[in-house]
Amino acid sequence: MSQHHTIRAAAIAGVFAVVALAGCSSPAAVSSAESEDVPGVTDDTVTIGTHTPLTGPAAAGYSSISAAASAYFAYLNAHGGVHGRTIDYIVKDDGYNPANTQTVVRELVQQDEIFALVNGLGTPTHTAVLDYLNQNSVPDLFVASGSTTWNDPETYPYTFGFNADYVVEGAALASYAADEFAGQKVCLLGQDDDFGDEMLEGAELALGEGGLAHVERYAVSNQDVTAQIGALKAAGCEINILGTINGFTALAVGTAAHLGWFPKWFSSSSGADYPTLVGYLGEDLGPKLLQGLTGTNYLPAAGGDSEWVALFRQINDEYNGGAAFDGNTVYGMSVAYLFAEALAAAGENPTRASLIEAIESGGLAGDGMLPLAFSADDHAAYRGVGITVVDQGVQDYVGASYEVDGDEVRTAETAPVAFVTDGIPGD
């Protein structure tokens, strides 16, 4: 990036207005002896739901995910649905407040009688309903968070993650830094919660304890990270790994620019979506400040030219009002496709048990860049990630990929899932 351009304080000040996202039974209890009267399933429809921030401080970074998923389901329904049933996706706003999450999820289960909860968003919010969903035998699928909490099949047999977890992302970013920029000082800025903890754990898994030159943490309730950025600068950090969501990524990058400091930024996928970051930083400054931004991904890159992305763009135009197309769009449609694939595999007369069995079978493919890891003993979706870099406004893979197996971090071979005709499972 241009290291010496002039940054006006007034232009950077807008960044500071960002309000950021804060970041049972045993498996054997999932019985196949379900009642014929399956919640949420009729002869013609399958009703599912989600909790997500449509309003409030987190909405700007994430509300487009459920809209994209809804658009895919509208497309799927227009093409006959799954086994002749259309998908009714009920999206409820929780404002990223755990108390609200509890209220809306109970409404979904008790009043709307959903078949499954799909892609509930956020670590603190979803944690608030984790026990409730499992105690009520509600399939809790593809949680929108990289916490390792979702991968505990013994305690939470109905819950499955979707994101590559934060340990994997931290390890991948640190490994790439060591491989490509040997000798440079690698540091970390992370939320003071599980997000930051697990990114730190992954980075140290790759670099060894003490391998990070400096670590700073911040509270999401305080939207001033000047002290943290100043400390990273003073420590001589050359590469900063970020355990931040999009709002705080923009805040960190903008604050550093205001201080006249331009290190390399390596971000978790939760905070590395280029179009979203440009939205925060502005069209004038954003592309300059984000040139070279390194991130992780495990889905088709929004800036790439895969058949999946081409279809998702078409669906976005036809069923999502031509909304801005970015990584959130690909994410939402990828989740929706994976649910459709699981539902198709659950059989012509699906039950909650057959849905769980379909996911644990290991037979689902999704549309990712690496294989899905789901099994009866593993409820994590992706065990590895590819590295992306922003170059001249295009965010795409650069060919490096890493995976975590136990305490081992190693390079991985990406194997993008072949496109399914029309993007409809079973076609």
The runs of H, that is alpha helices, within 3-57 are: 9-13
Query: What is the pLDDT, as a whole number, of residue 1?
Result: 46
β-pair partners for 386: 297, 401
Residue 184 predicted with pLDDT over 80: yes
pLDDT at 427: 62
Which among 259, 281, 297 is the end of a domain? 297
Question: Which residues have a Cβ under 8 Å from the Cβ of 143 and sit 6 or more positions away?
Answer: 119, 120, 121, 126, 150, 159, 160, 161, 162, 163
* 129 and 176 co-located in one domain: no
Q: What is the pLDDT of residues 194-215, one digit of tens each?
A: 899 999 999 999 999 999 999 9
pLDDT of 93 strictly over 80: yes
Mean pLDDT of the chain: 91
205 token code pair: 């898994």
| Residues 6+ away with beta carbon under 8 Å from 377 | 153
Residues 244-298: tens digit of each pLDDT: 988 899 999 999 999 999 999 999 998 999 999 999 999 999 999 999 999 999 9
Instruction: For residues 419-423, give the mean pLDDT.
Output: 95
> Above 90 in pLDDT, residue 168?
yes
How many other C-beta atoms can be found within 10 angstroms of the C-beta atom of residue 192? 17
DSSP code of residue 375: B
In a domain, 90, yes or no: yes
pLDDT for residue 23 is more than 80: no
* Domain coverage including residue 311: 27-165+302-383
Residue 89 belongs to some domain of the structure: yes
Percentage of the chain lying above the pLDDT 70 cut: 91
Please tell me the distance from the alpha carbon of residue 404 to that of residue 424, in angstroms, as a whole number.
31
Is-contact 242 290, C-beta < 8 A?
no
**For residue 28, is pLDDT > 80?**
no
Is residue 29 predicted with pLDDT exceeding 80? no
Any idea what the CATH number is for the domain that residue 307 is in? 3.40.50.2300
Q: How far apart, in whole angstroms, are the C-alpha atoms of residue 149 and residue 379?
A: 10
Instruction: Give, to the nearest 10 degrees, the angle between helix 59-78 and helix 246-258.
Output: 140
Query: Are residues 184 and 235 in contact, defined by beta-carbon separation less than 8 angstroms?
Result: no
Q: What is the DSSP string of 191-214?
A: ESSHHHHHHHHHHHHHH-TT-SSE
- Beta strand pairing status for 116-118 and 45-52? parallel
Name residue, tokens 């001033």. Answer: 224
Q: How confident is the model at residue 414 (pLDDT cuts 50, 70, 90)?
A: confident
Of 274, 297, 320, which residue sits at a domain end?
297
User: How many other β-carbons are positioned within 10 Å of the β-carbon of residue 393?
Assistant: 13
Is the pLDDT confidence value at 2 over 50? no
pLDDT tier at 31, thresholds 50, 70, 90: very low
How confident is residue 304, by pLDDT bands cut at 50, 70 and 90?
confident
Residue 379 makes CB contacts below 8 A (sequence gap 6+) with: 150, 151, 152, 153, 156, 159, 160, 161
Same domain, 126 and 139: yes
Classify residue 242: in a domain, yes or no.
Answer: yes
Fill in the amino acid letter for 310. Answer: A
CB 115 within 8 Å of CB 351: no
Is 424 contained in some domain?
no
Whether the pLDDT of residue 20 is over 70: the answer is: no
325-381 pLDDT tens trace: 999 999 999 999 999 999 999 999 999 999 999 999 999 999 999 999 999 999 999
pTM value surpassing 0.85: yes
The number of folded domains in the chain is: 2
Dihedral sign, Cα of residue 417, residue 148, residue 290, residue 283: positive
327 and 229 in a common domain: no
Task: Assign 36 a pLDDT band (cuts: 50, 70, 90).
Answer: low
Tokens of 85: 């049933």
Longest CA–CA separation in the chain, Å: 68
Per-residue pLDDT, 6: 36
Residues 375 and 261 occupy one common structural domain: no
